[in-house]
Structure 1
Amino acid sequence: MTDDPFRVLCVDDEPGLAALVGTYLERGCGLDCETAVETDANAALDRIRAEAFDCVVADYDMPARTGVQLLSAARETRPELPFLLFSGTGPDEIAAEMVRVGVTDYVGKRGGSEAYTALVRRVEHAVDADRNAGDDGGFDGDGTEAGVDREAISFDGVCTVAPDGTFEYVGREYGDLYGYDPDDLVGERWQRLHPAEEVEHIRTDVLPAVMESDRWTGRSIGLRADGSTFPESKMVSTTSDGRLLISVSERGGSGVTADD
Structure 2
Amino acid sequence: MTGPSMTPLRAAPASAANQLTVLAIVSDRQWRDQLEAGLDDDDFDVRTTASSTPRSTCLDGVDCLVSEYPMATDDLLERVKERIPDLPVVFLVDESIASTTVIETVRAHQWIDYVRQQESDPPVEHLSHRIHTLIKRRRLEALSRRSLASVELASDAIAIAAPNDDLEFTNRSFAVQFGTDRDDLPGTPWQALFTDESVERLETAAIPTVADGWRWTGSCIGCRTSGETFPVKVRLGGLEDGSLVFAVDTP
- Normalising to structure 2: TM-score of the pair? 0.41
Larger radius of gyration: 2
- Normalising to structure 1: TM-score of the pair? 0.39
